[in-house]
Amino acid sequence: MTFSIGWVVLSVFQSVVRNLPDPGPVRDGAQSAIGWCLLGVAGIAIGAALYALLLERIRVQLNRFTLPLAAPGLPPEGITILHLSDFHFRAGGFIQARKIARARRLLGGLQYDLVALTGDLIHDAAGFPQALKLIRGLSPRLGGFVCPGNHDYSEYSVWGVFGHTWGERGELGGRTPAEFIGAVRKLGDFACKVLRNELVRLPVAFNDVAAMNAGLRSLGLTPLVNQAVRVQAGGLDLWVAGVDDLTEGHPDLAAALAGVPEGALLLLLAHNPDIWLDPLVDRAALVLSGHTHGGQVRLPGVGAAHTQGTHLSRRRPAGWFQRGPARMFVSRGLGESIPLRFGVRPQIALIRIVPPAT
């Protein structure tokens, strides 16, 4: 898909160059200037498109954060959490291989107590072995935890705009006028939802979540679906809770927190940052989330092109949020739902929680 988009971009560029006005003699300087301006604009656009397709997607960034927190159960030396989200791995590909290699280099030598994975480990079922390979290289001191995302449940595709049978049938020949009219209407509805920053759901296949969870457990990770577990070690007394995905699952924060004592140190994992709208979130010291990919493409004067239909604005599609004592960190993720990133580099987050300085 990446090379198909690249071919289209280059074809457009060639078309622009072919149709530029001839520079002509000096007396036609104004026309020549317009032509060269158009060529410059086209060159900038092509360069930006190729950068978004081929370069920024592999420029994984390691961000380190320190969060002062006064809470019972936190040891004097604090704890360090490695937060990864939204791998969106496929079976393979050059860009993905480069991205994984850079991620491994950044992760090598890091020391952390916990690993938190907040969903969308795969883009399709064929990408799960790639996700396991990356996870296998992680080495948390106390354990790893994961909550599901919408892509862990379902494979999404552009064919989902029209219904997956279009993709299965392949050729467009033999379709009725009514089918084409219906497809155009669906495409228009899809475009309007994107422009309004609404939820876009395009499932074409469903994954074996039980098998995925078994694979994650085999590597020592604990899947958390509307449940919580207690982590005790040294001076640490922490509860880690996870909720189901908001789009494809059945999130129940009340059930997840049912066994957590009031006032306990609580880390909450939720793929979709809209969990922030639930008042029960205030019980958590820190919420870790993903899903938005930071918008993937940030446009000057607009912000994020799309925040996956969440309550987050185009101006703030990722990063840190606070309400009262509760804080939420939304990762930009490692992968993409469409093969583009511009102004939103893939992210690995290392978060250190420490008692406040006295």
* Model confidence pLDDT, tens digit, residues 56-109: 999 999 999 999 999 999 999 999 999 999 999 999 899 999 999 999 999 999
The Cα 10–Cα 312 span in angstroms is 34
What is the dotted CATH code of the domain comprising 61-156+203-354? 3.60.21.10
pLDDT of residue 317: 95
Pick 12 or 258 by higher pLDDT: 258
Pick 319 or 177 by higher pLDDT: 319
Least confident span in 23-32, 192-201, 254-263: 23-32
Lookup: tokens for 234: 């040294």
Residue 272 CB contacts under 8 Å (≥ 6 apart), including other chains: 149, 150, 245, 246, 247, 251, 289, 291, 308, 310
Max Cα–Cα distance, the chain, nearest Å:
83
Residue 174: is its pLDDT beyond 80? Answer: no
pLDDT of residue 16: 42
Give the number of other CB atoms < 10 A from CB of residue 37.
10
Question: Which helix (H) or strand (E) is 7 found in, with range?
Answer: helix 2-18
Write out pLDDT tens, residues 284-310.
999 999 999 999 999 888 899 888 888
pLDDT of residue 1: 47
Pick 63 or 204 by higher pLDDT: 63
The Cα 160–Cα 193 span in angstroms is 14
Which residue, chain included where needed, has tokens 């289209």? 8
DSSP 8-class letter at 55: I
Residue 39: is its pLDDT beyond 90? Answer: no
Beta strands in the chain (DSSP E): 61-68, 79-84, 114-117, 143-146, 154-156, 203-206, 221-223, 227-233, 236-242, 265-269, 286-289, 298-299, 303-304, 319-323, 326-330, 347-354
Q: Residue 10's pLDDT band (boundaries 50, 70, 90)? A: very low
3-state DSSP assignment of residue 121: coil
Q: Residue 38's pLDDT band (boundaries 50, 70, 90)? A: confident
Q: Mean of the pLDDT values across residues 182-186?
A: 76
pLDDT of residue 163: 60
| Contact by Cβ (8 Å): 245, 201 | no
